[in-house]
Every structure is written in C-alpha cells, then in structure tokens.
Amino acid sequence: MNRLDEATTAALTGVLQELYSVTWALCYLIYACERLRDYDRAAQWCQKMKEFVEPYQFRFALGICRAHYGGVLVWRGTWDQAEAELSTATQDFEVSRPPMAAEAVVRLAELRRRQGRVREAAELFGQVEWHPLAVLGLAELALDEGDTTTTAERAQGLLRNVPADNKTQRVAALDILVRSAAASGEHLRASEMLDVLKALSTAIDSPSLRASTTYSEGVVATTSGDYPTARQCFEEAAVVFGRVGAPYEMARARIELARVLSRLGRLDAAEREATSALESFQRIGTAAESERASAFIRELTAARARPGDFAPQSKLTARELEVLRLVAQGLGDREIASALTLSEHTVHRHVANILSCLDCLHDMARPDLLAATIRRAIKPDGVWFIVDIESSADFEENLANPLSPLMYGYSILTCLASSASTPDGLALGTVGLPEPRMRELVTAVGFSRFQSVAGLEHPFNAYYEARR
C-alpha cells in the first residue's frame, strides 16, 4: 500500500504526463483500498481522482471514481448518497465504456442486498454474475436464505479461480465459507477454515478484515455452543466496526451479541444490545434487518414472562397432538388415519409439517449436526418433534427413580458407547438429554422457539417441540 501511495502521489504531481497512466495509478490504489476495506483512504483517493479528471471531463475515470466511492458510502451506511453516486457512475460508463458499468451495478446490488430488497439484488448480481463481487454477493444471498450448499459452491468456485497469493480476495471467500460451514453444523470444517482465515487476516493487517474474521469466529463459537467465546468475539467485532465507521456490520455484530447474551440468561443486556442494533438498522434504512431485530426484542419481552424460554408464537393444535401421540407409538400414515377416522391425505399433510426424532438424539455422536440439518430442511411453519428419555441434569434426582440402576447400566453400555463412538463425539448419551441440555442443543443451531409439549404424558419419555 505504501508503494501504491507513493506511485499515485508521483503520478498526480507531474512525474507521469500520460492521462491514462495517471488514471490507472489512481484506479489500482482505490481497488487496493477497497479490497483491504480501508474505506477512509479509499474515500480520500476517490476525491483526489475526481479533482484530477473533472477538468478533462474524462467520464470513464469519473465512473470508476464514483463506483468505488459508492461502495465506500455503502460501507459507511450513507445509502441515499451511495445510490446517487452509483446511478451517476452507471451513466458515466454508458457514455464512455459500457462494459465497465458492471463496477457500479455490482455495488448497487450489494446495496440492495443490505437493504433487504432481495429480488432486486439477485437480478442485479445476475447481470454481472462473472464479477468476483457478484459471486460473493450471490453467496451471501444464498446464506441469508439458509442455502448453505449453494453458498459453499459459489465461494469455493471463486477460491479455485483466485491465486493463492491474492490474499484479499481469498479472505472474502473464506469468510463466507466459514459462516456457511458453521450454519450447516460442520463444526470441524468451520474451525479448520477459520484458522486459515485468521492467518490470512493477520498477514494482511487490516482492522476491518480482522473485525470480519472475529465476527465469523463468533458465529463458529455460537453454533458450537461456546457462548462465552462467542460473546467476546461479537463484542470485539462490534467495537472495531464502530471504530472504522461500518454501522451495518456493527449492528449485525450487536444483534448476534444479543442472541448470545440471551442464551447466557442475560436478558437485560441482550435487550440493550438488540435495541442498539435496531436503532442502527433504522438509521441506515434496512427494513428487513430492522424487522428481524424487532422480532427478537419481542421474543426477549416474552421470555421475561416465561423465564428460561421464549414464548412460542404458535402451539400445536389438538389434531396435531393426536397425530403426534400415534407417531410416538410408531404408527404409519394409514394406521393413524384409521385410528382417527381421517383420510390418509389429511394425516400426511399433518405429518409433512412435523419432522420427528424418536428416542435417538442422545445416542448420536453428533446430535448438533443433525439439529443443524433439520433446521435447514424443515418448513418455515414446520415443527421438529423430539422424543427423548425423561431425565434430570441432577444425578441425585434420577436416583429417585427405582429403575435408575437398570437405565444407567443399559445407557452406559449402549447409548453412551454410541454417542462416544467417533473422535469428535459429544458423548451425551447417559440416560437421555435433560431438558436444559436439549434446549441448548436446539437453540444453538438457530431454532428460536423450544418447549415441552403439553398434553403428552409417558412414564419414561419427554416430548418437545422446536420451531424455526
């Protein structure tokens, strides 16, 4: 960067006489600033470029300047001004070099993505899908929709075409891959890629890139259930994003911090962070993020009324409970239809909205991976119905059950052995998963509502429902 600064300064002070040479020196420097996310320096050089080329009415160079400055303004959260600059840049390119309009279009698409105007963003990214920033933008859109497969494919495709020594472009793709792997429950893979990402970020030495990496580290910690580490990461990321003037990123870090604080039982602190994030989202004008933050604040308010839980927005209907009772007994659609005097189609419709795990989670080596997979697969209005052994986290309480010696003996020989059968096994299989541990497992992968199912009783089993 120092060499680019020196070269560009020399170009502007008359060492270079050729107009195109001076312009390209400026362009290379501005590109480098943007890749490093050094937006203050980028803004300064954009202004210098504008002052230099305006007397010549060199619209191609003005378009480059405005496109990149529009990207700076998107980062800074001054979105009305960003849109004006990007629109003017497009006009400059249409007059001078139409193919270069992609530089403005791809940054306008990113603005639309942040605004929550998803369809427009996808259309704009699609117009310039060959552009590296469009590949990253489409990957982010897929991740926002929970499509981690498409996210990974796009980011990996970009990495394959980026040389190993091009650290700045590789960081952006790796950052998305880390978050995608975490969201899909691939904790080992996410941790491995996070180590690579951290090494690259350290080598580049950019506060903004380090903050993004720290944010991704918080995402990995959250999905792994390491909430204390996640809290530290999101706190640090929010501070640095605020320091470098990135209000959108700062607000996203704060809302994730709020979610982690709520899982740590610190509801007052969670509400303060969520409210701060909401105010930031409203100031910069992103309706979608504002609504998500508002919804989370409403959940926190409900949680105070029901300590230890988020009040669900909907409950199982009486008919769903009847169907679940029979599902829990192992009956199929035809048998349930006969028992309830319903058509098989009606039963199938109920069952299709309910994904069931019957007395199996505690036997699995990585139940967290299954939980993450189910969250991705389940319909937005669907229910994850969980049956597991009724037990307490307190060993003494479990001993009150006269069958506890039999249950512990059988569980240690079979269930615990199964749940510890892989090198990364969580070994949670001793006499089922008590409700607090089950709640932690389910909410850690993104389910927002979890509760015991009222109306179902059994001497050995506990019944839970989880909703997205």
Domains of the chain from N-terminus onward: 1-128 (1.25.40.10), 206-311 (1.25.40.10), 318-467 (3.40.50)
Predicted local distance difference test score (pLDDT) of residue 121: 95
Percent of the chain with pLDDT over 90: 29
- Please tell me the distance from the alpha carbon of residue 186 to that of residue 191, in angstroms, as a whole number: 9
Contacts of 426 (CB under 8 A, 6+ apart): 365, 366, 367, 368, 419
For 17-101, where are the alpha helices, taking DSSP H only? 19-36, 39-53, 59-76, 79-95
- Is the dihedral angle over the CA atoms 186, 372, 415, 438 positive or is it negative? positive
Within 13 Å, how many C-alpha atoms sit on residue 25's CB side? 24
Q: What is the mean pLDDT of residues 378-393?
A: 78
Cα 271 to Cα 99, 173, 248, 265, 303: the distances in Å are: 47, 32, 18, 11, 11
Q: What is the band of 60 on the pLDDT scale with cuts at 50, 70, 90? A: low
**Comparing 249 with 57, which gets the higher pLDDT?**
249
Q: What is the band of 313 on the pLDDT scale with cuts at 50, 70, 90? A: very low
Predicted local distance difference test score (pLDDT) of residue 465: 86
C-alpha torsion angle, residues 211, 212, 217, 223 (rounded to 10) = 130
Query: How does the average pLDDT of the chain come out, rounded?
Result: 82
Per-residue pLDDT tens digits for 178-205 = 999 888 878 788 989 999 999 988 888 7
- Please tell me the distance from the alpha carbon of residue 309 to that of residue 434, in angstroms, as a whole number: 15
Predicted local distance difference test score (pLDDT) of residue 14: 67
Q: Which one, of 439, 130, 441, 117, lies nearest residue 309 by Cα? A: 439
- Is the dihedral angle over the CA atoms 91, 92, 94, 99 positive or is it negative? negative
Predicted local distance difference test score (pLDDT) of residue 131: 93
Per-residue pLDDT tens digits for 249-259 = 999 999 999 99
Per-residue pLDDT tens digits for 406-451 = 888 888 888 888 888 888 888 876 777 888 888 888 888 888 788 8
Predicted local distance difference test score (pLDDT) of residue 438: 87
Q: What is the band of 56 on the pLDDT scale with cuts at 50, 70, 90? A: low
CB 71 within 8 A of CB 105: no
Q: What is the mean pLDDT of residues 6-34?
A: 68
Lowest mean pLDDT, pick from 78-87, 150-159, 303-312, 424-433: 303-312
Highest mean pLDDT among 2-6, 18-22, 72-76, 214-218: 214-218
Predicted local distance difference test score (pLDDT) of residue 76: 87
Q: Which one, of 16, 19, 17, 46, lies nearest residue 34 by Cα? A: 46
Which string of DSSP letters, residue by residue, matches 419-435?
HTSSTT-----SSS--H
Residue 394 has pLDDT above 80, yes or no: no
Residue 20 has pLDDT above 50, yes or no: yes
Residue type present at position 388? D
Within 13 Å, how many C-alpha atoms sit on residue 334's CB side? 0
Q: What is the band of 137 on the pLDDT scale with cuts at 50, 70, 90? A: very high
Predicted local distance difference test score (pLDDT) of residue 350: 62
Three-state DSSP state, 316: coil
- Please tell me the distance from the alpha carbon of residue 442 to that of residue 451, in angstroms, as a whole number: 10
Residue 272 has pLDDT above 90, yes or no: yes
Predicted local distance difference test score (pLDDT) of residue 144: 87
Predicted local distance difference test score (pLDDT) of residue 93: 80
CB 386 within 8 A of CB 460: no
**Comparing 19 with 112, which gets the higher pLDDT?**
112
Residue type present at position 299? E
Three-state DSSP state, 264: coil
Nearest 5°: phi and psi at 413? -75, -35
Predicted local distance difference test score (pLDDT) of residue 173: 93
**Comparing 241 with 37, which gets the higher pLDDT?**
241
Helix (H) or strand (E) holding 223: helix 207-223
For 78-186, where are the alpha helices, taking DSSP H only? 79-95, 102-115, 118-127, 132-144, 148-160, 167-183
Lowest mean pLDDT, pick from 103-112, 250-259, 266-275, 379-388: 379-388
Q: How many helices (H) and strands (E) does the chain have?
A: 24, 4
Q: What is the band of 23 on the pLDDT scale with cuts at 50, 70, 90? A: low
Predicted local distance difference test score (pLDDT) of residue 73: 87
Q: Which one, of 253, 243, 192, lies nearest residue 76 by Cα? A: 243
Q: What is the mean pLDDT of residues 448-463?
A: 76
Residue 389 structure tokens: 């052994």
Unique residue bearing structure tokens 């849109």:
83
Per-residue pLDDT tens digits for 210-258 = 999 999 999 998 887 788 899 999 999 999 999 988 999 999 999 999 9
Model-wide pTM > 0.85: no
Predicted local distance difference test score (pLDDT) of residue 312: 36
Per-residue pLDDT tens digits for 65-114 = 778 888 888 988 989 989 998 988 888 787 777 888 898 999 999 999 99
Beta-bridged to residue 384, according to DSSP, are 355, 466
